Amino acid sequence: MISKYRDFFNNSFSEEKYSDFLKSLNAGFPPIPFRVAETPVFIPADLKQKLVDAGSEIIKLIKRPDFKQLTDGSVPAEWNVPNENDHPHFLTFDFGVCKDPNGHLVPKLIEMQGFPSLYGFQLHLAQEYKKCFNLPDNLSPLFDGVNGPYYIELLKKVILGNCEPYEVALMDVDAPDQKTSIDFFITQKYLGIKILSLTDIFKEGKSLFYQDGDRKVRLKRIYNRLIFDEVTDRTDVFKSCFDPREELDIEWVTHPNWFYRISKYTMPFLKSEFVPESLFLKDLKVIPSDLENYVLKPLFSFAGLGVIIDVKKEDIDQVKDPENWILQRKVNYEPAVKALSDGVKAEIRLMYLWPDEGEPILCINLARLSRGKMIGVRYNKDFDWVGGTVGLMEQ
């Protein structure tokens, strides 16, 4: 979007460079199973400021004293985990890049989560784009006031807390086999923590342990990457290890309840120029006459599963649990990223770190490029210049 960098990048791009970039990006790690786009996004200063402003407005809501009261209905009773803390350690807000009536690029909120994202991988990704495509040093994926060393130290502070690295584990169901495992390995490289699958952990009393060779090691803190939606039909996985819903002597980073509190459930409470009109389906009094301008989203799903893009009246009539759905006005993405032949739509994720006894800090970003109806793998098969990427900004 910053034309001088876009023109330079496109004019010097080649498939050979892209192939070399992917090899360098993946060197020393298991193969990356998701598509990494051919290009970064060059975020201009005015759009960057609007993203910062939009994120600040959302954080005002999250920091309200009554926020937990507002979102009590978001945590399913069957997945409510004890000992919830005061705030999430991670915040991620996804914005579609759109165009306002005056032709200016503006962010529109699509999704939000109080859950980790690719905090390790995104820094690595930006460094590889810059190195392999000879991009200037003044371009960075980090926001004002944050540089690389400070970012790594802040990541350590948030994830390790007061613990030693061996007392902290990044945990997921089958951690090494997850699609995002590249982020797990890079995070391990930065922080020195263990990567454990759920079944690598066992319980004695209220304490959790893992086996490191002949040594039994007590876990004090879990960097949680387990999304309960992924194990809704596999609750047997807890039988041989531990059940997160029990009273345990463990610190969560971040506590699992925040995945639900800060989610699509939060969007109807937000009133902002950067947030499309959203309401709980249970509160819908009259079905809009222009349903083609709305999407219907289940509250408890991820990666776009269950979203109805082309909504019809019968779709609403067939919903048996309207309290678990929202109706949201469609966001019209602008194909603002110039590929070699045409424009590509972009989504930018703001990624915050929120240390214990501290304030949320906007650190880094993630971007995704799309040519399909939605941002996501299943909507962008067989396209080029799509997939995961990062936004670079002038410093």
Taking alpha carbons only, the member of 345, 288, 293, 348 closest to residue 109 is: 348
Residue spans per domain, the chain: 3-276+331-383+387-391, 281-330
Average pLDDT over residues 136-163: 97
Question: Which of 118, 264, 127 shows the shortest CA–CA distance to 178?
Answer: 118
pLDDT for 379 beyond 80: no
Return d(Cα 353, Cα 3) in angstroms, integer: 31
Does residue 38 surpass a pLDDT of 90? yes
Residue 375 has pLDDT above 80, yes or no: no
Q: What digits encode the pLDDT tens for the residues 271-312? A: 999 999 999 999 999 999 999 999 999 887 655 578 898 899
> Which of 179, 174, 177, 225 is CA-nearest to residue 200?
174
Q: Are 193 and 219 in contact (CB under 8 A)?
A: no
Tokens of 99: 């165009």
Which residue matches tokens 């061996």? 166
Q: State which H helix or E strand residue 215 sits in.
A: strand 215-219
Tell me the pLDDT tens digit for each residue of 43-85.
999 999 999 999 999 999 999 999 999 999 899 888 999 999 9
Main-chain dihedrals φ then ψ at residue 246, nearest 5 degrees? -85, 160
What's the average model confidence in pLDDT over 7-17? 97
255: its two tokens: 């506590």
pTM comes to: 0.94
Q: What is the pLDDT of residue 376?
A: 60
Report the pLDDT averaged over residues 178-186.
96
Q: How far is CA 275 from CA 155, 199, 278, 329, in A?
A: 29, 40, 8, 9
Q: Going by DSSP bridges, is the β-strand pair 325-329/294-298 parallel, antiparallel, or unpaired?
A: antiparallel
Question: Is the Cβ–Cβ distance between 311 and 294 less than 8 Å?
Answer: yes
